[in-house]
Amino acid sequence: MAQRIDTKDLNIYYGDFLAVQDVTMTVDPKSVTAFIGPSGCGKSTFLRTLNRMHEVIPGARVEGSVELEGVDLYGDDVDPVAVRRNVGMVFQRPNPFPTMSIKDNVLAGVKLNNRRISRSDADDLVERSLRGANLWNEVKDRLEKPGSGLSGGQQQRLCIARAIAVRPQVLLMDEPCSALDPISTLAIEDLIGELKQEYTIVIVTHNMQQAARVSDRTAFFNIAGTGKPGRLIEMDDTATMFSSPSQQATEDYVSGRFG
Ligand SMILES: Nc1ncnc2c1ncn2[C@@H]1O[C@H](COP(=O)(O)OP(=O)(O)O)[C@@H](O)[C@H]1O
Ligand SMILES: [Mg+2]
């Protein structure tokens, strides 16, 4: 239930603007990979190419390849909707459907994918997904209540439950804790530590301590100046990236000396 990702010579464009240049990287299955780097260096852009959400923006396109277990996600016969089911995404701001019940929020992705399921299968899936997201005990007595009644941290775990309900292989998270308080942040970090046993996880974070705490590997992206493309500077085991990176720019960034 976890797949390896390989990008090769990936160039990412918005129209004529080259936003991210020439990224070749491997993301290991059943592990957490953190993307770090200054604002605007293309972390979110790169992340969205890993499940073909980038091309939803008019004029947006890629050159190069992204492979999931050796299969090119941009191949001619690949259905982008199937890719997005297989490679789930969790966003910066928790975005449950506010008027929908907690239960229906968990099932939303499954229903969007037109899968018909019986009521008892749906109940099982809701429980399993909420347990997987470490939220079950907090919401099991109010499954019919709206998702908007939950705290920010609970809403983010609800979004994670919704993402895993469709049984993806990969989970992409774009700054999933940036709108959360420290306690909720720790709950999400603990959850990420558990989820990596089953999924390939990529997390974008601005929080160096968070990258150090949750990830096995870290990729540092940087940008030479406004209007220039973002590039992958280096990627290594997280401990190495934070103690003895091979590039000066990485050292400067992780130690807080940048600009
Ligand atoms: N929808 C978009 N249309 C055009 N340019 C965009 C769009 N989204 C991001 N960009 C540009 O792409 C570059 C990388 O942005 P982004 O991926 O958001 O960086 P990060 O997530 O590292 O802060 C920036 O120059 C940004 O202005
Ligand atoms: Mg971003």
Residue type for position 192:
I
Mutation test of ligand 1: which of 45, 175, 206, 221 has the most ligand atoms closer than 8 Å to its C-beta?
45
pLDDT tens digits along 237-254: 999 999 999 999 999 999
Q: How far apart are CA 23 and CA 11, in angstroms?
A: 7
Q: How far apart are CA 182 and CA 179, in angstroms?
A: 10
Ligand 1: does its nearest atom lie under 6 Å from the Cβ of 202?
A: no
Ligand 1: atom nearest CA of 35 is 22
Cα-flanking dihedrals φ and ψ of residue 53, to 5°? -85, -20
pLDDT tens digits along 216-232: 999 999 999 999 999 99
* Residue of the CA atom closest to atom 24 of ligand 1: 40
Categorize the per-residue pLDDT at 109 as very low, low, confident or very high, splitting at 50, 70 and 90. confident
CB 223 within 8 A of CB 38: yes
Ligand nearest to the CA of 48: 1
120 contacts: CB under 8 Å, gap ≥ 6: none
Categorize the per-residue pLDDT at 116 as very low, low, confident or very high, splitting at 50, 70 and 90. confident
From the list 188, 193, 234, the residue with the least C-alpha distance to 216 is 193
Mutation test of ligand 1: which of 10, 12, 13, 14 has the most ligand atoms closer than 8 Å to its C-beta?
14
Q: How far apart are CA 104 and CA 233, in angstroms?
A: 42
Ligand 1: does its nearest atom lie under 6 Å from the Cβ of 43?
A: yes
Cα-flanking dihedrals φ and ψ of residue 24, to 5°? -120, 120
Ligand 1: does its nearest atom lie under 6 Å from the Cβ of 39?
A: yes
Ligand 1: does its nearest atom lie under 6 Å from the Cβ of 91?
A: no
Q: Distance from the CA of 36 to the center of ligand 1, in angstroms?
A: 15
pLDDT tens digits along 44-94: 999 999 999 999 999 999 999 999 999 999 999 999 999 999 999 999 999
Domains parsed from the chain with CATH numbers: 5-95+169-254 (3.40.50.300)
Q: How far apart are CA 85 and CA 133, in angstroms?
A: 17
- Residue whose pair of structure tokens reads 């994670």 in the numeric block: 160
